[in-house]
Amino acid sequence: MSPRVLVVDDDPDVVEAVGVVLEDDGYRVETATDGPAALKSVLEAPPDLIVLDVRMPRLNGWEFCEIVRRQSHTRDVPVLFLTGRGEMRDQITAMQVGGSGHLRKPFRIEDLRDKVRALTRETKTQGGE
């Protein structure tokens, strides 16, 4: 079965664009446009990968990732951060809160594909498949 990816961003255009690319690549895509809705989805049924915006209202990406990492059944789900900010401190924060990767917006579609492929392949390897 193809990996399930949750795409979370408060910009519906980004959610749609990322979703279309990943669906075209054969992933099963679910989406959310805010942190609380995404968190509910993740805690109920952890995906194989989370593609997550950093700046969102109500629950930002850093906080979201920290919550996910504290739960035993979600702590190993890879999180790929998307952000409009590309400073080194953002990349460091992404790793400090448990992120698995970082992409700066705007990003190249091939870079997104490469990172998603690598992270979902890594998850399969860790899961023993």
CA 15-17-21 angle, 5° bins: 115
pTM score, whole prediction: 0.92
HSE (side-chain half, CA atoms, 13 Å) at 50: 32
Q: How far is CA 24 from CA 17, 36, 38, in A?
A: 11, 27, 22
Residue pLDDT, tens place only, 51-71: 999 999 899 999 999 999 999
Q: Are 4 and 23 spatial neighbours (Cβ–Cβ below 8 Å)?
A: no
- List the domains of the chain with CATH numbers: 4-126 (3.40.50.2300)
Select the more confidently predicted residue: 5 or 124: 5
pLDDT at site 60: 94
Q: How far is CA 120 from CA 36, 63, 85, 116, 127, in A?
A: 24, 23, 24, 6, 11
Residue pLDDT, tens place only, 17-49: 999 999 999 999 999 999 999 999 999 999 999
